[in-house]
Amino acid sequence: MSMEELDFLKGCLQVLSKNAEKILAFQKYLETDFEKKLFEAAINNLLDIRNPLRFNNFSYAMRELMDHILKRLAPDENVMRCSWYKHLDRERKVIRSQRIKYAIQKGLSDDFVSKELGLDFDSVQKKLKNLGRELNKYTHVTEDTFDVEPSEQLTKVSNFLETFLKMFEVVENSKNKVIDVIEEHIEAEIVRGFFENYVDLEEYATHVYWGDYEIEDIKLEEINYEKLRIRVSGVFEPQFQFGSDSDIRKGCGLLFTKRIPFVCILTSSVESPYELQVEEFKFDTNDSNFWEDIQIIED
């Protein structure tokens, strides 16, 4: 290897080393083996120092990877069933900007997203649109796009990865924002679930009374063109009573509390996210060790 080639290789390695954190962060969002292998192949193109088309090949692979990821996040049939969908292109049923929109807001209405979530996705849309154009530019080989120097690669690779990561960040933030704005309604349905499922606890004592509860986790498990599905888990701590009130006064009854885990699945339409319904509610009483860790209430 000549000194010139060695210096060029060092420049290529610098492109990767200075973007190592972004590369690793990006890899975490890749789900299929194909996506992972395609990204690895794209990166390997940058190390092909004897090939002046290395950056063109990188750009082509990244453009294909972007389209593949967007099709995974926003399949045609899902996008086309959203209330906001319009057929805008003669040749394609779904265009890239609509895939990006679905990846971020799914079937939620534009009105809900802007007024209730207070989110503006225009900047992300524009950045991804510009990224697509930039990647397309390097798939067409001209004197200006041929044999790109490592210094220019460094800037462009960094910008490419930042734009991708920003999209994934916005997708995650939008899910969190949905939970934030409907959390009050989620809690109301959880309380309803407690009262409607008290009967599952009454087999353990004469009476069961209201107690404290703690919601430990709320996860938006699914959101698509049609509905939201939310999983809520936590702990309920009711008061149990053995015997009648008279037995308690005489000292031959028993009052105790116990922390009981629960899981609740809630669903709603994307058209009416606040109108949640309990799909499934379960107390994890576990008969085999129910009497462990009970807390006796002293008079």
30-81: per-residue pLDDT in tens?
A: 999 999 999 999 988 888 878 889 899 999 999 999 999 999 999 999 999 9
This prediction has a pTM of 0.82
Q: Provide DSSP, 12-24.
A: HHHHHHTTHHHHH
69 and 148 fall within a common domain:
yes
235 in a structural domain: yes
* Structure confidence by residue, pLDDT tens digits, 1-17: 455 544 544 555 667 77
* Cα 97 from Cα 103, distance rounded (Å): 10
In the prediction, which pLDDT does 128 show? 83
* Interval 118-146: pLDDT, tens: 877 778 888 888 888 888 898 889 988 89
218 and 126 share one domain: no
11 shares its domain with 145: yes
| Gyration radius from the chain CA atoms | 28
Considering the domain architecture, whether residues 30 and 86 belong to the same structural domain is answered as: yes
Rounded to whole angstroms, the Cα distance separating 108 from 101 reads 10
pLDDT for 13 equals: 65
Strand partners, 299: none
The reply to whether 89 falls in a domain is yes
Query: Phi/psi of residue 201, each to 5°?
Result: -100, -20
> What DSSP string describes 33-101?
HHHHHHHHHHHHHTT-TT-TTHHHHHHHHHHHHHHHHHHHHS-HHHHTTSTT-----SS-SS-HHHHHH
Check whether residue 67 and residue 148 sit in a common domain.
yes
202 shares a domain with 277: yes
Distance separating alpha carbons of residues 243 and 234, to the nearest angstrom? 29
Say if CB 162 and CB 26 are below 8 A apart.
Answer: no
Is residue 250 within a helix (H) or strand (E), and if so which, with residue range?
Answer: helix 245-250
Residue 259 is given by DSSP the state -
pLDDT at 2: 53
Are residues 144 and 210 both part of a single domain? no
DSSP per residue over 114-150, as a string?
IIIS----HHHHHHHHHHHHHHHHHHS--TTTSS--H
**How many residues comprise the chain?**
299
Expressed as residue numbers, the domain containing 251 is 197-296
Same domain, 40 and 72: yes
**In whole angstroms, what separates CA 62 from the centre of its chain?**
22
Domain count, the chain: 2
Whether 190 is covered by a domain: the verdict is: no
Do 166 and 202 lie in a common domain?
Answer: no
Pair (22, 108) in one structural domain: yes
For residue 26, which amino acid is it? F
